[in-house]
């Protein structure tokens, strides 16, 4: 099993993430049509409970697996790397079973706590998924620790394909028994998808579990840690992550109950508040597409930084952190501006809903804050500085709850208030994490330097995209193409024009270099138009002539 560079690992997980999220976006209109907008609100609420329990069971130990396996292999302690995975895997199996049972037994109280009593059946149907995902997360953490993202990527795609097929199938089968049953049927595909992914990863592990040691390596790797010591290290790394992420999602659960209650207070009835929540859930699903790419980058960077940090290679740690933030903005900034510019058009295209675009207009900025915090959290996990960052997340949760309580209850604002609550939730830890990283590592990390070029290219893209959409809309209207088809054609073509414009803008501003292209698969490079490739090459030649060193774009191994 070959170790991949951070860039290649990011590229693999990103490609898988795009496929997975496209599949998840494509089936939402069909699911909404089957179980209605009200049913989709119930479905989304049950997923909040599922995600909360999922992160409690799966957020900490897989991170510890990835970190310890990467660290032990970097130090040449191969037996300890394998031992740490096996101990952690056993813990995950027990924890997954207990949390799955908890979710099933307490489905009723949990549904009442969030103000969505209709979601009880959906929560019960999702309960077995926790056990299957505990298996999946263990193996994904192991493969990521070994620096190979391919098994994780393939398992994600396989999981989502099964999920998509059976979600729609079971939703249609159970809908005849009512909206609650239909929503519950729609969640069964998630359990089946996780089960299939677990089987796949077990098979891949059995074929690749032997770690090849370097030439000349001799019996130096006698186990240097006892089971008790490794268990202590697993808890040392995993527990802070569970606390940090658990508090974040606990805040989401509290927030869900508050938002539902305040929507009702603002004058909406039970069905009306469910529908507003459904729209907000769709907005979050759209944001999760680019966030998936950032999560892939964070997963790729964590073991890489962890290995360099354990070797006390400060220069390598600094390079990798700057690299992570640079690529974070390259993805997040154009995504945010694109969603803001085409807010109504994208919502209509994907969900056939005309009233959710305003959420994207106000909420696209949340995407950038979310992306930065994801990278910061991954860095802090890598260097063992999670307890302080956990406190920062608590401050964010408190700010979010307070903001939502006051804003969502105002009739003219209602669900848009939850957007501002999300902004506060990410801004607070973003600022505090930035200070902590710079002080702890004593490295030069300037977010502004990495933000400027993507912003310039994205602004150009936004102007061109908006103009393209208006022009195409007028042309299509003159050709008597109206309604949904008009929007679909105009939006799709505008997005393609936007991608070309953004890439060209990056080439003009030197936001992307030849060195970057050298790290990506040749198949991906062939998709880039020749004028852009030519411009990037010209920039590289000018830099060589001027003797300029490219300090910001170096990919890391």
Range picked from 433-437, 528-532, 549-553 for highest mean pLDDT: 433-437
Confidence of residue 96 (pLDDT cuts 50, 70, 90): very high
For residue 11, the model assigns a pLDDT of: 64
For residue 3, the model assigns a pLDDT of: 57
Confidence of residue 468 (pLDDT cuts 50, 70, 90): very high
| CA proximity to 401, closest of 286, 250, 269 | 250
Q: Tell me what the mean pLDDT of segment 496-503 comes to.
A: 91
Q: Quick one: DSSP state of residue 356?
A: S
302 CB contacts (<8 Å, ≥6 apart)?
63, 66, 67, 70, 144, 378, 381, 382
Instruction: Using a cut of 0.85, tell me whether the model's pTM lies above it.
Output: no
Report the range of poorest mean pLDDT among 157-166, 389-398, 413-422.
Answer: 389-398
- The DSSP element (H or E) to which 68 belongs, if any, is helix 61-75
Cβ-contact 305, 321 below 8 angstroms = yes
Gap between the Cα atoms of 296 and 158, Å rounded: 17
For residue 551, the model assigns a pLDDT of: 46
Has residue 481 got a pLDDT over 90?
Answer: no
Q: What mean pLDDT value characterizes the chain?
A: 81
Gap between the Cα atoms of 422 and 405, Å rounded: 12
For residue 106, the model assigns a pLDDT of: 93
| Residue ranges covered by each domain of the chain | 23-210+230-256, 276-445, 450-542
In SS3 terms, 50-103 reads as HHHHHHHHHCCHHHHHHHHHHHHHHHCCHHHHHHHHHHHHHHHHHHHHHHHHHH
Angle CA 19–21–27, to nearest 5: 105
For residue 456, the model assigns a pLDDT of: 93
Range picked from 21-35, 50-64, 494-508 for highest mean pLDDT: 494-508
What is the tens place of the pLDDT at every residue in 244-288?
777 767 766 777 778 878 888 777 777 788 788 788 888 888 888
| CA proximity to 55, closest of 209, 215, 243, 280 | 243
SS3 472: helix
| Torsion angle, alpha carbons of 150, 153, 155, 160, to 10 | -160
φ, ψ of residue 267 in degrees (nearest 5): 115, -5
Has residue 385 got a pLDDT over 50?
Answer: yes
Gap between the Cα atoms of 46 and 206, Å rounded: 35
Q: Tell me what the mean pLDDT of segment 503-516 comes to.
A: 80
What is the tens place of the pLDDT at every residue in 8-21?
655 666 667 677 77
């Amino acid at each position: 099993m070959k170790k991949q560079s951070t860039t290649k690992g990011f590229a693999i997980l990103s490609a898988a993430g795009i496929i997975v999220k496209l599949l998840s976006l494509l089936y939402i209109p069909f699911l909404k049509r089957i179980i209605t907008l009200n049913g989709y609100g119930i479905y989304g609420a049950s997923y909040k409970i599922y995600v909360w329990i999922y992160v409690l069971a799966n957020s900490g130990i897989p991170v510890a697996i990835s970190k310890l396996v990467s660290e032990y292999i970097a130090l040449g302690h191969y037996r300890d790397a394998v031992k740490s995975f096996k101990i952690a895997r056993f813990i995950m199996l027990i924890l997954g079973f207990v949390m799955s049972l908890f979710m099933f037994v307490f489905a009723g109280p949990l549904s009442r706590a969030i103000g969505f009593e209709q979601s009880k059946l959906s929560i019960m149907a999702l309960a077995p998924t926790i056990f299957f995902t505990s298996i999946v997360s263990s193996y994904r953490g192991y493969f990521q620790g070994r620096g190979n993202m391919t098994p994780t990527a393939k398992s994600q795609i396989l999981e989502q394909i099964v999920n998509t097929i059976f979600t729609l199938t079971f939703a249609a089968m159970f809908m005849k028994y009512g909206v609650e049953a239909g929503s519950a049927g729609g969640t069964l595909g998630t359990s089946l998808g996780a089960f299939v992914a677990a089987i796949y990863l077990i098979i891949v592990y059995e074929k690749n579990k032997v770690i090849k040691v370097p030439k000349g390596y001799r019996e130096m790797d006698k186990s240097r840690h006892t089971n008790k010591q490794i268990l202590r290290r697993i808890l040392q790394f995993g527990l802070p992550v569970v606390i940090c992420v658990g508090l974040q999602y606990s805040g989401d659960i509290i927030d869900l109950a508050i938002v539902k209650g305040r929507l009702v207070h603002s004058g909406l009835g039970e069905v009306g508040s469910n529908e507003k929540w459904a729209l907000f859930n769709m907005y979050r699903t759209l944001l999760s597409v680019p966030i998936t790419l950032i999560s892939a980058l964070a997963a790729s960077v964590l073991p890489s930084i962890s290995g360099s940090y354990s070797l006390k290679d400060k220069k390598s740690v600094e390079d990798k952190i700057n690299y992570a933030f640079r690529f974070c903005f390259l993805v997040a900034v154009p995504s945010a501006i694109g969603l803001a510019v085409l807010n109504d058009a994208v919502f209509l295209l994907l969900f056939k809903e005309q009233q959710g675009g305003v959420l994207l207009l106000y909420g696209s900025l949340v995407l950038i804050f979310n992306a930065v915090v994801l990278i910061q959290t991954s860095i802090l996990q890598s260097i063992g500085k999670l307890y302080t960052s956990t406190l920062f997340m608590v401050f964010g949760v408190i700010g979010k709850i307070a903001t939502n309580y006051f804003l969502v209850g105002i009739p003219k604002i209602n669900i848009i208030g939850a957007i501002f609550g999300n902004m506060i939730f990410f801004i607070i830890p973003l600022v505090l994490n930035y200070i902590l990283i710079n002080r702890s590592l004593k490295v030069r990390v300037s977010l502004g330097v990495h933000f400027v070029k993507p912003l310039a290219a994205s602004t150009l893209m936004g102007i061109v995209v908006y103009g393209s959409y208006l022009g195409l809309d007028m042309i299509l209207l003159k050709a008597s193409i109206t309604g949904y088809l008009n929007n679909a054609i105009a939006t799709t073509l505008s997005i393609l024009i936007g991608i070309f414009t953004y890439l060209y803008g990056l080439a003009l501003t030197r936001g992307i270099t030849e060195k970057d292209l050298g790290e990506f698969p040749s198949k991906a490079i062939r998709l880039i138009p020749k004028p852009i490739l030519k411009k990037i090459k010209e920039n590289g030649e000018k830099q060589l002539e001027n003797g300029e060193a490219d300090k910001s774009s170096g990919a890391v191994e």
